Amino acid sequence: MADTQTDNKTTLLFVKNMNHQLGPVEKFLIKRGYNVIVENDIRTGLDRILATNPVYIFLAWDHKNENIRAMPKTIYQSCTGQIVPFIMSTQRDQILQLETSGFENKLYPPLSGPAIIRLIQKQEKRNQVFDQINSKKSSPTAKKDSEMIQVKSFFSPEEEQKSNVTSRKSSSIAESERKKLASRNRSQAQKFASSNDQENQLVSSSEKYNPNKAKLIAALAKEIDKDGVMSEGQKHTTKINLSAVVEKEYSAINGGPQNTLKKAIEEEIDLIGELNKVDKAITKARLLALLDSQSSTSQTSAMSLLLPKAAKKLAQNQKQSLDKSFSEVVKPEMFDLIENYSDITEGTSLLTETTKIYVMAIQEIEWTGYLTVASENFLDITSAQMILNNWLRQMIQVERIDKNPDEQEELPEAVLFEIHVPKVNFADFCSYKADFFKDIQFEDKKTMLSFFSFSPYQVINSVHDTSDMLELSTDFLQPNQNLPFDVNLYLPENKRFILYLRPESFLDDAQVSRLQARKVQYIYSNMDYEWALLKYKAEFNLRALIESYIQQIKGSNT
């Protein structure tokens, strides 16, 4: 785990409460080039602060552990970082405690990425002024040019001009970009880990995530929950202590934990005072057996195990808010856009015979699935992107609690595709299968906007635990269909990947059968094909949904 600043990045460390949702803020700051570390536990957070000496330290003043307010005294003795208290709660007593905290810099709710950037820029400008004053004192003949203060914008000119959501094609990428993509995909998989408070306490957030370690901690916690002797309090304490042991002692040797970790876990069980020797021996035997099973070589990806298999459906109040925002914002803009292309008829078709739709893959915790638009009016990929971007902004406003209403919200990571599907009555299909849909009519032609919820497991690209290779479950593979990405197999014995198929090849029935017979759960592809893989999964998922709808309609008509 890298605890030092790299590539001259400014390190920001947050100590937050368990229920604070800082995912969007963290993502915003990372995109702006900051090294972000997030911790929930005060003791762990203090250890990380002492180890990394971050430039800015953000402390949740409304943390459930009030000892957080004693942290500044310890921090100031060993670190030079700037402390910034913040709260996520809007309760008056919490706001009053923040106001009387004695800190010049502090952040009130809603906490947002732009607010943090403004605070950092303000502080850096102040530091520059102090430096210039000190420079003048030491050098009275300093040039006037040195008195100029330059504050660098956190947006590059290119970022200000281009949309955050673009249609991309897979291409050869540099090694540095490959690592960035792999890191992003790992963080996407990590953020979908269970939101259970107890498990979140055990699997702490860090800037470099080890999925095997997280998997081991979660497995130990579940094993402790099965214990029929310990009280609930003992179980809770033991899980916390075991988590700390794993965090300290874990390292991988041939895919498994070291003997030192086994010894440390045995010692931890011995410290449970209210258990007799027999119960301790039984508990140790069960946990050591679990460690051995975790050490065995497997092609099951720990990263994929983090991804929920069930889709998160929209709540009724979310649908009501989206319905209102559609009528007030999205619908008028759709009318204006479609009117601009009203004279073009080339490529248009009835929604009853839809074979082409525009799809945007959404990889957010609150909204995981696909936004789609299909129209009987002319739409190209640019106009489709504008429509879906407008709709996506409304979805953000409904869900994000840290949005500053005075600022434009940054769009999340999303990719737009044009995909081909089996011929279907798209309007009817949406009424049956979409989680939410709306339509407008312009000159007797209909345009339909819809959102289909899918599980993160089906949507996002996860990566191999130790290598920068995209992984795809063999459940997605269809015989005799061209694959727009390369196919590699992983050999766990020597930890190598071998090329099985080149891009635009296909698996025949015999090859698929062989993979199933060998119980191969995942195939792997190079990071170059990230967008091709996202599109392939989107097409696979929506095709399957359409085909199930067609079968459902046929069944109801017989």
What are the pLDDT digits (tens) for 499-535? Answer: 999 999 988 888 888 887 888 888 999 998 988 999 9
What are the pLDDT digits (tens) for 277-302? Answer: 878 888 888 787 777 665 543 456 66
Lowest mean pLDDT among 124-138, 308-322, 323-337, 412-426: 124-138
Domain 11-161, CATH number (from 3.30.565.10, 3.40.30.10, 3.40.50.2300, 3.40.50.300)? 3.40.50.2300
Predicted confidence (pLDDT) at residue 239 exceeds the cutoff of 90: no
> What are the C-alpha distances in Å from 490 to residues 196, 246, 256, 337, 481?
32, 27, 17, 48, 22
Predicted confidence (pLDDT) at residue 103 exceeds the cutoff of 80: yes
Length in residues, the chain: 558
What average pLDDT is seen over the chain?
77
- Range 303-326 average pLDDT: 83
pTM for the complete prediction?
Answer: 0.55
Judge contact between 454 and 348, C-beta under 8 A: no
Residue-range domain boundaries for the chain: 11-161, 199-305, 316-454, 458-557
Predicted confidence (pLDDT) at residue 271 exceeds the cutoff of 60: yes
- In this prediction, residue 77 carries a pLDDT of 81
Judge contact between 191 and 206, C-beta under 8 A: no
- The DSSP secondary-structure symbol of 410 reads P
What are the pLDDT digits (tens) for 367-418? Answer: 889 999 999 988 887 778 878 888 888 887 776 544 455 454 555 666 788 9
Q: Using CA atoms, how far apart are residues 529 and 522, in angstroms rounded to an integer?
A: 16
What are the pLDDT digits (tens) for 120-169? Answer: 888 887 777 666 655 555 554 443 333 333 232 233 334 333 333 333 33
What are the pLDDT digits (tens) for 332-352? Answer: 878 877 876 677 777 678 889
The candidate with the shortest Cα–Cα distance to 212, out of 189, 232, 235, 228, is: 189
Sheet holding 414-424: strands in order across? 414-424, 354-363, 368-375, 445-453, 436-442
Predicted confidence (pLDDT) at residue 206 exceeds the cutoff of 70: no
Amino acid type, 259: N
- In this prediction, residue 133 carries a pLDDT of 59
- In this prediction, residue 279 carries a pLDDT of 80
> What are the C-alpha distances in Å from 345 to residues 8, 326, 380, 388?
54, 26, 12, 21
- In this prediction, residue 459 carries a pLDDT of 92
Judge contact between 192 and 365, C-beta under 8 A: yes
Judge contact between 345 and 339, C-beta under 8 A: no
Phi, psi of 401 (to 5 degrees): -85, -15
- In this prediction, residue 205 carries a pLDDT of 38
- Range 86-109 average pLDDT: 82
Burial code (b: 16+ CB inside 10 Å, e: under 16) for 503-540 equals: beeebeeebbeebeeeeebbbbbbbbbbbbbbbbbbbb
